[in-house]
Amino acid sequence: MTLDEKIVLMHGVNAMKGTVETGFDWAVPPKEYVGVAPPIKRLGIPSLKLADGRAGVGNDAKDITLLPAPIAAASSWDTGLLHEFGRVLGEEQWGKGTNVELGPSIDVVRVPEWGRTFESYGEDPYFNGQMAAAEIKGIQSQGPIADANMYLTMNQESDRFRADSVVDERTLQEIYLPPFEASVKDGHVGTFMCAYVKTNGVYSCENAHILRDLLKTQLKFDGWVMSDWGATHSTVDCANNGLDQQMPDDTFYGAALKKAVVDGKVSVATIDEHVRRILVPMFRQGLFDKTQPGKWTSNVRSPQHDVFSRSVAEQGTILLKNDRALLPLQPTATIAVIGAAGDKTPKIEGGGSSAVIAPYTVSPLEGIRKRAGAQVNYADGSDLAQAAKTAGAAQFAIVFANTDETEGDDRPDLVLPSKQDQLIAAVAAANKQTIVVLDTGGPVLMPWAGQVAGIIEAWYPGQEDGNAIAAILYGDVNPSAKLPLTFPRTAAEIPTAKKEQWPGVDGHSQYSEGLNVGYRWYDATNTQPLFPFGFGLSYTTFQFSHLSVEPAELELRSGAAAGKVTVKVDVTNTGKRKGAEVVEVYVGHPPANGEPPHQLRAFAKVQLEPGQTKPVMLELDERSFSIFDVSQGRWVSQDGRYEILAGDSSRDLTLHSSITVEHAGVSR
């Protein structure tokens, strides 16, 4: 390759500017894709065509499927579902001619107000890693290269183009890096997107520590890093510190990069490494071998994908409260549907670059009317008295409440906007059988939680909104989802309540909570959440029993891979309906390790008929018994007694056991 050819691969061509790359094969680059790199015909290198898509093909694509928000998919706690989620997304992207899918978004949710919470999977590093790897494999099975983002510490939208995440190395390694690690090791992801923010004072896309030391050396990532749109701030620093490709244009990686090479500021060897990193995943994904007939205008929808979208919404909807087992509804019950999201403006997706043009929307009112066998009335809630009257006249009132969440903005607080709290309180006062359905992208405060009979978190449910919520409300589907993040009781009781932590002071966000992110903080400070991480109800009941941990003593030898630990739990469906339960296994470290009280290290979902018992086997790896030792710069397993806790939420761990880890007399 000539230097020009190499450099052409290292940046996007700004379709908006209509740039013409002389000597290459596009007179006018296709405008549809949000990022493109031109083909190099002489060498048979295909073009790269990038499109957004966390819940469907984005960038104003038509004739595609709108899936529920990723946070909903993750709430299934089902990696098989995430694989299928990725598969459907990958198939539609490939059908649109896309060969790099900009997703998934895998950052740990640190700040509950974060505007991109809905795009992510939640607040646990291990959990996010499992979900990420599954979705990436699904996407890449269909042709496109997945681009996991945003690397690293992209945990707020406030001041996102400049914000500096001030975070200690151990926290970086133990909380923020693991989803990216799993994407490399289990997901075999082809590319990552470096973020807008800085980590410890240095912009992500020129941060030698996070790009070179962590990603490329420690995690042995052999693919490429592209910049987020506008996240490149230099030529020489970016090129020398690990940015392989600038997107979406050539401001720093076009003529300026060529000059830097000519001037000897960036070596040819460095350029070669960047180019190799871009080409390797392209070869691995078969981009040189396959033809991709699809075009941006192709219709990639299918009845199967509509069904799948509904199924994700059903499996991602969480039953949080169900007093007196009022749910599921009887078809004969009269219903009042209340709230704008109930029909007028259903809240089916979040905003920003992940937004998708839905092919259709089934509103909750439509879905419920189709399913109900009795009168269903509607009030949009703009008139409180009217809403209360409508609610009072029905046997059940179902209030739909929502938040708007979008890239570029954090929510100002966790309060439901537009006086929806008042609406819910008014309806609850008029009808003792009030159920609240939340279409939010993240946690909200619920001052009315004690006054309503039922609460459901349906997230942003996608195009099949109404059909999915009706299936849950009437019990055609038994809810089985669990929270992938904590819902707090009050604004003061969140891990990042101080201004220094979020949105930051003088451009710095102090990660002073350290390892105590999400439920780790609630546990460490003995703070009672409103609904804990891992929590979710069902229309049936389950019992966990017979926890066994084998071996009870784990001998680790330095240099040798540790034997795996097997955890077994029996789960019984003690109710009258078939249903699915998640077994969650947490590990508590010995105090000397300085870890949060307990941390999720394994989970599995199991389907059970009424009365049925199934043994569930899970594995714990050596990482479960390790901490990141900053002085050694690596994960090191530690001697001591570890608690093994199993249950159905982070706050309901009824089964306890322990394991002793001992190194076999070899120096570490």
Which residues form the interface with ligand BGC (CB under 6 A)?
A: 34, 52, 102, 149, 228-229, 353, 407
Instruction: Tell me whether residue 139 or residue 515 sits nearer to ligand BGC (CB atom).
Output: 139
CB of 60 to ligand BGC, least distance (A): 11
Distance from C-alpha of 467 to C-alpha of 493, rounded to nearest angstrom = 35
Instruction: Tell me whether residue 157 or residue 206 sits nearer to ligand BGC (CB atom).
Output: 157
34: left (phi over 0), alpha (psi -120 to 50) or beta: alpha
Closest to 407 measured CA to CA, from 665, 586, 228: 228
Instruction: Tell me whether residue 30 or residue 640 sits nearer to ligand BGC (CB atom).
Output: 30
Q: Which of 228, 250, 465, 648 is catalytic?
A: 228
> 486: Cβ–Cβ under 8 A, 6 or more apart, which residues?
112, 123, 443, 518, 519, 522, 529, 531, 532, 533
Closest to 395 measured CA to CA, from 341, 438, 432, 449: 432
Is 228 an annotated catalytic residue?
yes
Distance from C-alpha of 225 to C-alpha of 100, rounded to nearest angstrom = 12
CB of 119 to ligand BGC, least distance (A): 8
CB of 133 to ligand BGC, least distance (A): 19
- Measured in degrees and rounded to the nearest 5, phi and psi for residue 346 equal -60, 140
Grouping H, G, I as helix, E, B as strand and the rest as coil, residue 613 is strand
The dihedral through the CA atoms of 313, 315, 321, 326 has a sign that is positive
CB of 192 to ligand BGC, least distance (A): 12
Instruction: Tell me whether residue 76 or residue 149 sits nearer to ligand BGC (CB atom).
Output: 149
Instruction: Tell me whether residue 113 or residue 407 sits nearer to ligand BGC (CB atom).
Output: 407
Minimal CB distance residue for ligand BGC: 353
CB of 81 to ligand BGC, least distance (A): 23
Instruction: Tell me whether residue 248 or residue 339 sits nearer to ligand BGC (CB atom).
Output: 248
**CB of 122 closer than 8 Å to CB of 155:** no
**What are the helix and strand counts (H, E) for the chain?**
16, 26
Instruction: Tell me whether residue 201 or residue 408 sits nearer to ligand BGC (CB atom).
Output: 408
Could you identify the residue written with the tokens 């945003």?
Answer: 150
CB of 352 to ligand BGC, least distance (A): 7
H or E stretch at 389: helix 384-392
Distance from C-alpha of 519 to C-alpha of 649, rounded to nearest angstrom = 11
Distance from C-alpha of 646 to C-alpha of 545, rounded to nearest angstrom = 9
How buried is residue 303: exposed, middle or buried, by Cβ count under 10 Å (0-12/13-18/19+)? exposed
CB of 86 to ligand BGC, least distance (A): 16
What residues are labeled active site? 228
